[in-house]
Amino acid sequence: AQSVTQLGSHVSVSEGALVLLRCNYSSSVPPYLFWYVQYPNQGLQLLLKYTTGATLVKGINGFEAEFKKSETSFHLTKPSAHMSDAAEYFCAVIRSYTGNQFYFGTGTSLTVIP
Amino acid sequence: EAGVAQSPRYKIIEKRQSVAFWCNPISGHATLYWYQQILGQGPKLLIQFQNNGVVDDSQLPKDRFSAERLKGVDSTLKIQPAKLEDSAVYLCASSLDMRGNTEAFFGQGTRLTVV
């Protein structure tokens, strides 16, 4: 079974509109969840992570995500999209409490329409 | 703080040739990873080192891929011989340690094209 699933390989939003990128994870993995962003020809940059504590996590560039154990979800949101948000977004989990091996979803490409 | 350094950035080779990629992790990071990212897919873990020891290489095609981190710092990933399906971006990442909540920092990657 997939450890992490991203729904929607491509998402388009208008500039200023809400961004919602979906991520569901397997309940068999530890609750260590991450969102990374990848700009063209660049490596991955951490947006935010949930490990313990408050379930609403705030990250860089105005993004946030909420850990919902009952729904096994960790969706990424941003209230108002900016042109510079256009990129590939990856949800990732760590599949064991030791080892710190990251497993990534297939990614969601975000397009922002002016 | 310097980030994860990788070289080369781009490489084009013919199938059946060999190629090597180099990675210098962030200073003090004990854990180093090599990921393969095929176009349109998420990164896939190839191998993970803790210092100079291999933690996980279960997804490394060992008949053609090899990696080493002899002194527990820099690492080299080699493909010999290359196949067309090896065309991908190879990402190196490092983290401070192997605790499950430790962020991984990624290099810019090496884009390999096998023709």
Regarding beta strands B19-24 and B5-7, do their DSSP bridges make them parallel or antiparallel, or are they unpaired? antiparallel
Q: What pLDDT, on the 0 to 100 scale, is given for residue B99?
A: 75
Q: What pLDDT, on the 0 to 100 scale, is given for residue A20?
A: 98
Phi, then psi, of A70 in degrees rounded to 5: -65, -25
Report the residue count for chain B: 115
Residues in a beta bridge with B87:
none
A98 — pLDDT class (breaks 50, 70, 90): low
Do the Cβ atoms of B38 and B84 come closer than 8 Å?
A: no
Measured CA to CA, the distance from residue B112 to residue A107 in angstroms comes to 20
Which residues on chain A are in Cβ contact (under 8 Å) with B107? Answer: 43
Measured CA to CA, the distance from residue B40 to residue A89 in angstroms comes to 12
A59 — pLDDT class (breaks 50, 70, 90): very high
Chain B interface test: which of A23, A101, A108 (most B C-beta within 10 Å):
A101
Test A103 with B45 for CB contact under 8 angstroms.
yes
- A98 or B22: whose pLDDT is higher? B22
Q: Average pLDDT of B11-19?
A: 98
